[in-house]
Amino acid sequence: MSGRAQLMWDEAVTGYDFGPDHPMDPVRLALTRSLVSAFGLDREMDVVSAKPAGESTLRLVHREDYVAAVKAASADPGGADGSYGLGTMDDPAFAGMHEASALIAGQSVGAAEAVWRGDALHAVNFSGGLHHAMPGGASGFCIYNDASLAIARLLELGAERVAYVDVDVHHGDGVQAAFWEDPRVLTISLHEHPRTLFPQTGWPEETGADSAQGSAVNVALPAGTGDAGWLRAFHSVVPEVLAEFRPQVLVTQHGADTHFEDPLAHLAVSLDAQRAVQVALHDLAHEHTEGRWIALGGGGYAVVDVVPRSWTHLVGIVAGREIAPETMIPEDWRQQVFARTRQLAPVRMTDGRWPVEWAGWEAGYDPADRLDQAVLAARKAVFPLRGLLP
């Protein structure tokens, strides 16, 4: 197995562009890629451009009629079929939409193939993580569900147990839906509570179909949850369930929209806590999957202050060259940011919260605490189904 990690990148992924007034500005991808380069991380990895996902690959998850609708909207955006979620405010149609979406999906599928075949131990596609797309429709800024497609490809290649961990602020509903009936796939999502945030799913009681009870795990966090609570919730659920499931490969989604600066959600997590979870997931991959790890991006709408730093930390961890939180950001990158966005870029790779402290579940819990209530709800719903004590 190659010791070098793979960075999946093709400049054309920045063509995934819903227009100038849409929150998902592709500048976040371009700025992340240039910050990765400014730190020299791309010299520590194999930078690979995989081919776009073709029709047969897309149909591992998506319905034939939906793929046809995306292609039609891509060729004629004005005629997008709203019954498939296309041409809406969240998912406006644009010329070349199918090609850009298939290219992003192809990078995640390529990452899965490289890791499963042993060409790379870890692979990262920060343009991916488009976890809301459903088998038959677009949703939540997501056209094709690259995370689901990567998992489906792993199963096609012979994987028997794939774990998916999603720490985006929004519930990973599309991935959960794709594998709702499949006990070979464990989906774990930590997200803001569906009472207060799109897509209004991800309740702890959602645990999988009768044929796959306990294969869906949902930790629904109260709005306002900060670093200590977020890390407590993660460590109180994820390691124990992964250990019981014994995955052969780990796929993770790292939406940066849990951050306190993100304009579309209500958690209060810092860059430093995001980095701590990235490190934890890397360590869990080495503990349970012999290091086989596919890391994806996701949401994140503070496109200058947060996303490039968060995902550059992720790339550094994937590459085996972690960036210390106190590291100064290269001045030439900061100048580039100002030239492109007229915004002042951050100065260091930290929010000043490192090291992040949190209390483990084994020390006991407070039944009156809203965060502990959320953790306990998830544990009570799923742990007994997996033979674990809640």
**pLDDT score at 358:** 97
**pLDDT score at 24:** 97
Residues in the chain where the model's pLDDT stays below 50: 1
**pLDDT score at 269:** 98
Q: How far is CA 104 from the centre of its chain?
A: 13
Distance CA 104, CA 364 (A): 43
Sign of the dihedral through C-alpha 167, 168, 170, 176? negative
**pLDDT score at 366:** 96
**pLDDT score at 2:** 57
**pLDDT score at 125:** 99
**pLDDT score at 18:** 98
**pLDDT score at 133:** 98
Any idea which residues carry the catalytic annotation? 132
**pLDDT score at 184:** 98
- The CA-atom distances, in angstroms, between 89 and each of 14, 21, 139, 201, 301 are 19, 10, 10, 20, 16
**Tokens standing for 108?**
């995640």
Identify the CA nearest to 168 among candidates 141, 204, 192.
192
Distance CA 374, CA 237 (A): 11
